[in-house]
């Protein structure tokens, strides 16, 4: 005779077996769709992750955009969209090359012009970005995949700041969205839409 606990366990095992047998092919199809459904803790009130420091805007940005660097488990900066970079001997010039194959959701390639516009916009809103921009002489696109960041004095935190994960995160968005005035929110309007970066 089975006890109540054993009966419950047996019923659960049978239910799991039946669900994998019955739902198996449908489950495989659902995996192929690659749809992510989430329930957020708050409403996303703006699609612009630079305009606000609301945590929800940063979370949304992390699901939509990508960054040049990111921190690993030990909080050390690691290249994300960047493939390689070089620092001049005087530590004033950083030359970055983007990884191959980076694209936005619409299939358009991520270019260094997108990076330059995004970093300039982010640097006008974020506290760490403002400090970094105080050391910045210029950020220029050398070609489609290469951009150059020139400093007016050595600043050892450049890579660390680009890898920061607290809001406002230095996301890379398309140039046309990054050209939106950083002090006037476009609350989901035509100029700033969700843009997925694919690699």
Q: Which pLDDT does position 130 carry in this prediction?
A: 96
Sign of CA dihedral 153, 157, 161, 166: negative
Residue 10 pLDDT class (50, 70, 90 cuts): very low
As a whole number, the mean pLDDT across the chain is 82
**What residues does each domain of the chain span?**
1-35, 55-198
Q: Which pLDDT does position 25 carry in this prediction?
A: 55
pLDDT for 56 beyond 80: yes
Contact of 191 with 180, CB cutoff 8 Å: yes
Tokens of 92: 């004033």
Query: 3-state DSSP call for residue 47?
Result: coil
pLDDT for 146 beyond 90: yes
Q: Which pLDDT does position 29 carry in this prediction?
A: 58
> What's the topology of domain 55-198?
Dipeptide-binding Protein; domain 1 (3.90.76)
Complete edge-to-edge strand list for the sheet that includes strand 82-87 = 82-87, 93-98, 146-151, 136-141
- The model's pTM is 0.73
CA 21 to each of CA 25, 33, 150: distance values in angstroms, whole numbers, following the listed order: 8, 20, 60
Task: Provide mean pLDDT across the span 172-195.
Answer: 70
Q: Which pLDDT does position 37 carry in this prediction?
A: 83
Q: Which pLDDT does position 188 carry in this prediction?
A: 46
180: nearest Cα among 44, 49, 64:
49
Task: Provide mean pLDDT across the span 150-169.
Answer: 94
Q: Which pLDDT does position 50 carry in this prediction?
A: 81
């Amino acid at each position: 005779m089975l006890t109540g606990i054993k009966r419950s366990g047996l019923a659960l095992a049978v239910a799991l077996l039946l669900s994998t047998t019955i739902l198996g092919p449908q489950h495989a199809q659902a995996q192929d769709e690659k749809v992510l459904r989430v329930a957020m803790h708050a409403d996303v009130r703006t699609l612009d992750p630079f305009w606000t420091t609301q945590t929800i805007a940063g979370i949304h940005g992390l699901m939509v955009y990508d960054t040049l660097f990111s921190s690993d488990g030990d909080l050390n900066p690691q290249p994300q969209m960047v493939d390689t970079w070089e620092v001049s001997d005087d530590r004033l010039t950083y030359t970055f090359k983007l990884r191959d194959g980076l694209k936005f959701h619409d299939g358009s390639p991520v270019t260094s012009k997108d990076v330059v516009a995004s970093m300039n916009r982010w640097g006008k809103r974020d506290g760490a970005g403002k400090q970094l921009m105080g050391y910045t002489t210029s950020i220029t696109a050398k070609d489609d995949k290469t951009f150059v960041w020139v400093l007016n004095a050595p600043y050892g935190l450049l890579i660390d700041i680009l890898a920061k994960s607290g809001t406002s995160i230095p996301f890379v968005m398309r140039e046309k969205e990054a050209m939106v005035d950083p002090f006037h929110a476009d609350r989901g309007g035509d100029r700033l839409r969700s843009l997925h970066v694919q690699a």
